[in-house]
Amino acid sequence: MQTSTWTLERLGILEKQWLEGISTRDIADGLGVTRNAVIGKANREVFPVHAAARPHIPIAEWEHRLAVITDMRSAKKTAKEIAAVLGLSPRNVYNIIALRQLPKKFGTGYCGGKSCSN
């Protein structure tokens, strides 16, 4: 039987260091795994965008954007409407959804009157 590389303790270390903005290389070295393993696991665990990759967006702002997007998605708002509220482009809204693996159905709006669902 093969044991998992990602124990609860190691996941806790990964999450803590990820949110602190420690580089993926340094996290990987500390855990004894590859950089790709760290990035892959962080993506599968749906962590926010790595702080080192986006230092100009504080984690609190990221979480606020996710909450607004989730709430507005529940209210059947379009990507264009969500983007206007957040001061982002509709493409930024789509990117946030893709990074967090939220459902992508927006109805009509930014997609030139066609359905934006994928």
Q: Does 74 share its domain with 115?
A: yes
Q: Does 65 share its domain with 114?
A: yes
Q: Residue 17 contacts by C-beta under 8 Å, 6 or more apart in sequence?
A: 26, 27, 30
Give residue 15's pLDDT: 84
Q: Does 24 share its domain with 64?
A: no
Cβ atoms of 74 and 42 within 8 Å: the answer is no
Q: Does 62 share its domain with 29?
A: no
Pure H helices in 32-58: 35-44
Give residue 103's pLDDT: 42
Q: Does 95 share its domain with 71?
A: yes
15 is in which domain, residue-wise?
8-44
Q: What is the mean pLDDT of residues 51-65?
A: 67
Q: Which has the closest alpha carbon to 27: 36, 14, 43?
A: 14
Q: Does 40 share its domain with 73?
A: no
Give residue 105's pLDDT: 44
Q: Does 64 share its domain with 108?
A: yes
Q: Does 40 share its domain with 68?
A: no
Q: Does 62 share its domain with 91?
A: yes
Q: What is the mean pLDDT of residues 37-42?
A: 88
Band (pLDDT 50/70/90 cuts) for residue 46 is: low
Structural domain count of the chain? 2
The length of the chain in residues reads: 118
